[in-house]
Amino acid sequence: MAHNSYGLAGKEVGPKALRFDGQTVVVTGAGGGLGKAYAVFFGERGANVVVNDLGGSFKGEGQSTKARDVVVSEIINAGGKAVANYDSVEDGDKIIETAIKSFGRVDVLINNAGILRDISFKNMKDDDWDLIMKVHVKGAYKCTRAAWPHFRKQKYGRVINTASAAGLFGSFGQCNYSAAKLAQVGFTETLAKEGLKYNILCNVIAPIAASRMTQTVMPPDVLENLKPDWVVPLVAVLVHPSNDTETGSIFEVGAGHMAKLRWERAKGALLRTDDSLTPGAILKKWNDVNDFSKPSYPTGTANFMELLEEAQKLP
């Protein structure tokens, strides 16, 4: 990537500051937390911002218009351009319609809206599972599906989906959320492949930031170092037109730290595909199946036709 200089959210000046003049950025769940930080940043950097939020509780209960109206006023009072959208991400087409009606285009979509329904798996009810899937998985799908034809037509689009460490590594009491968050990874990786030839680049972040979602589980001194503002610059880098290569990637980001994550494949074992391929034969090669001393980093499935031919050649 060609980027070599960027600063903190909204504080950067000079020719190297990444700007978004004339672009329309849709941020879902922008009434508070990370979404608000993105919206304010893009407003400061010249974008037309669609500030979407349903305004319910962090468990997905109720609705209110206050939070996103405050964000829209903040952007406009600072000289930026913003409109509010009050729909749920489950009605993503209405959110994209707001962008098109208000600004005539959509260039960047940040799928950020989210809720929690934490509960141990033993006590999980269908409602806890379904609501999380609706908001995170269906929500990201509906918003992206509605933006996609515009991106394809204009041969330009940038998408950020929001995963979580809970999805990548698992987290006690968050089975529903973990499943929905890892879904963002598969969703992004396929969108990246399908979008590439239309210059639609899609990446997924696993953020960590102080918000109403984390304020009850972390102490104040830790939260102080987890400002949502510290997540924004990486997102800006990824959705800026100067990024023309980075797509289908997973980034962990928070507290000033950012790092890419990727899949790692062990050495593995290759066995003849005949009746010698038994559980016992696998157990004999168990160390190879688990041997990460010389890993590879796959971006697609193993080439099974090649492996089949290799296996036939084994003694």
Number of residues located near ligand NAD, criterion CB under 6 A = 32
- 244/38 Cα distance (integer angstroms): 21
Q: Does 28 bind ligand NAD (CB under 6 A)?
A: yes
State the binding string over 120-149 for ligand NAD (x if CB under 6 A, else -).
---------------x---x----------
Q: Which of 6, 86, 177, 198 is catalytic?
A: 177
Q: Which is nearer to ligand NAD, 47 or 208 (CB)?
A: 208
Q: Which is nearer to ligand NAD, 144 or 211 (CB)?
A: 211
Nearest distance from C-beta of residue 172 to ligand NAD, angstroms: 15
Span interacting with ligand NAD, options 74-82, 206-214, 258-266, 277-285, rule CB under 6 A: 206-214
Q: Does 209 bind ligand NAD (CB under 6 A)?
A: yes
* Beta strands across the sheet bearing 48-52: 81-85, 48-52, 24-27, 108-111, 157-162, 200-207, 250-254, 257-261
Residues numbered 164-183 forming contacts with ligand NAD, rule: CB under 6 A: 164
| 141 within 8 A of 87, measured Cβ to Cβ | no
CA 220 and chain centroid, separation: 26
Q: Does 114 bind ligand NAD (CB under 6 A)?
A: yes
| 108 within 8 A of 20, measured Cβ to Cβ | yes
- 141/187 Cα distance (integer angstroms): 8
Nearest distance from C-beta of residue 195 to ligand NAD, angstroms: 21
Tell me phi and psi for residue 309, to 5 degrees.
-65, -45
Told to judge if 141 belongs to the known catalytic residues of this protein, a careful annotator would answer no
Give the residues across from 14 on adjacent strands: none
Q: Does 208 bind ligand NAD (CB under 6 A)?
A: yes
Using CB under 6 A, pick the residue from 174, 211, 247, 249 that binds ligand NAD.
211
Tokens of 155: 């041969």
Tell me phi and psi for residue 19, to 5 degrees.
-115, 160
Give catalytic residue positions: 177
